[in-house]
Amino acid sequence: MPASPRPAGTFPPHRSPAPSSGGRVHLGHGRRGAGPSRQGPGRAARSCSSRRSLPVAGAASAAAALFARGAMERCGAAAGGDVRMCQTVFPAHANHRGELSAGQLLKWMDATACLAAEKHAGVSCVTASMDDIQFEEAARVGQVITIKAKVNRAFKTSMEVGIKVTVQDVLTNVEKIVSVAYATYVAKPVGAKKIELEPVQLLSTEDHLEHTLATERRRIRLGYEQVFQKLMQESNKEDTFKEEDAVSTDLTHVQSIELVQPPHANHHGNTFGGQIMAWMETVASISASRLCRSYPILKSVNMFKFWGPSVVGDRLVFNAIVNNTFQNSVEVGVRVEAYNCEEWIKDQARHINSAFLIFNAVNDKGELLIFPGVKPTTKDSVRRYHGAIARRRIRLARKCMLFAKEDKPSDPWETSNQAYVSYSNVAALTHLAAKQGWEITSMLEHIKIWTHEERDVLSLKVEMQVKIPSHVAFSLLSDFTRRQQWDKHFLTCEVLQAVNEDEKIYYVTSPPMTGHKPRDFVILVSQRQPCKPSEPYVVAVKSVTLTSKPPSPEYCRSEILCAGFQIYSDSDSSCTDPCST
């Protein structure tokens, strides 16, 4: 199959090198007039030579927007697979502060997302998990909640559903984002029949973006446990519970039981996932209140994971306990076990759900309260204590990575943030490729060049057609140790870390520009193969910081914010290398 490499790399503002034979197509972007800048201790210069990204305003923040708020941005009537729910917040839905209770919101979110999944699958679906949820705004009594849900991508039997929650003030008509989340739903086969879900119909640019990035988010989910275990090993080496006035975590333990009745079940007989999440939030809130002696407010959830089903008639036992505190936040772990009548007598529990909920608490003035320190007293509570530290490191890394300003130095490559750095790398390139408003500036026989101006940012895109199989082009372009053979701006290139088959970190040196020292780069190269023929091969590039490779006085450490290649296959024998970035 002929290939279409769509590279994305940034060219210097003074010239753009012509691609030589072999299908090297480059995409790039940078601030106009950018040159060597912001050089100095601890801050690398964001200049770049040919095929390297100059500072791109919005590259990092674009990745954050896609991850945290890209679920659905379309307006107007629900289209395609969109499902929407609108609810007025009544006193029965509110907590003691007159705000919509988190448990009620979780029920609405799960119901809407499940209906979106079933609209696509055509069969009953069950909740498998709900990713990390951040609650950014509170909805008050009288305001209107709108929940939009849409299937972003269908895998074999599971789907990722994007969920976006907004609140609208009836009097002012002001609308704010409350929460954005991604959930996974699994289609339930009818009898012995196997189900293979149909692909999602992609109608808009946003659909294509979310479809591509759903695969990246799935990689994060699948790799989470491995990252967590590594951080647990590091945390176990630290003895951090030394406060003399610390409170024993045992004092925060709460156990509660619920009998699953027909109103708690969904339309196919299983206990409604949203109802289970609401019950979990209730017991977790009680556990946190025993520590802070106030009314806790749920701020985020570290993934709801459903391990098994429960049905009408089951007894659900909820156990909640504070795992750790971090100044003005507390993590509460909740475990849910189910019993039918026979299991109840034999004390044979089924573990069906776990989650970790993070709460804040405020005083009468709305100021955050400081939680007292806690101390574990058993082997299991010590494990939970260190687990909370590991999860917090992952949360902070995610927040730092995905919501950082674009003018910050390159991201550190650490165990806690590797998955999110890789995600951001691919997301930024994908977002750039899909931007509207590219203007063509040059057309040669097989080469097209576009530019895109947005405020003080100039982006460059080059597309080239080459007669070479796409997998061969991908192999050549993703191996940066070969780049010296065709890129005169690469003096040396060595692999610093072969993280896995898809991620490598390289150290690159480049020749000096007139009046300046030679430059060097530490770059992460993320490569992705397509899941289906219509999707591109992707090679995404960005700078990272490695403690093992600090800046050298011999070189000017430079940075790449966003660069790379997208390689598409043509249906005919010719090879197109467009740069959809």
Distance from C-alpha of 358 to C-alpha of 302, rounded to nearest angstrom: 8
Which residue(s) pair with 368 in the sheet? 362
3-state class of 177 per DSSP?
Answer: strand
Q: Where are the domains of the chain?
A: 3-58+422-577, 66-203, 238-405
Q: 66-203 with 238-405: one CATH topology? A: yes
Say which residues have a Cβ less than 8 Å from residue 486's Cβ, sequence separation at least 6. 20, 22, 24
pLDDT of residue 216: 84
The predicted pLDDT at position 221 comes to 85
Sign of CA dihedral 358, 362, 367, 368: negative
CA 93 – CA 17 distance, rounded (Å): 61
Q: Which CATH superfamily groups domain 66-203?
A: Hotdog Thioesterase (3.10.129.10)
Q: Give the pLDDT score at 405.
A: 53
What pLDDT sits at residue 242? 60
CA distance 344 to 360: 36
Report the amino acid identity of residue 63: A
The CA distance from 211 to 562, in Å, is 20
> Model confidence over 16-53: pLDDT tens digits?
333 333 333 434 443 333 333 333 333 222 223 233 33
Q: Which residue has the tokens 């090198």?
A: 17
Position 77 scores a pLDDT of 38
Statement: 3-58+422-577 belongs to CATH 3.60.21.10: no
Residue in 253, 264, 262 with CA at minimum distance from that of residue 103: 264
In this prediction, residue 319 carries a pLDDT of 97
Closest to 311 (Cα-Cα) out of 347, 354, 275, 283: 275
From the options 3.90.380.10, 3.10.129.10, 3.90.79.10, 3.40.50.2000, give the CATH code of 238-405: 3.10.129.10
The pLDDT assigned to 32 comes to 36
Residues of the chain with pLDDT under 50: 1-79, 573-581
pLDDT of residue 55: 31
| Residue 296 to residue 455: CA distance in whole angstroms | 43
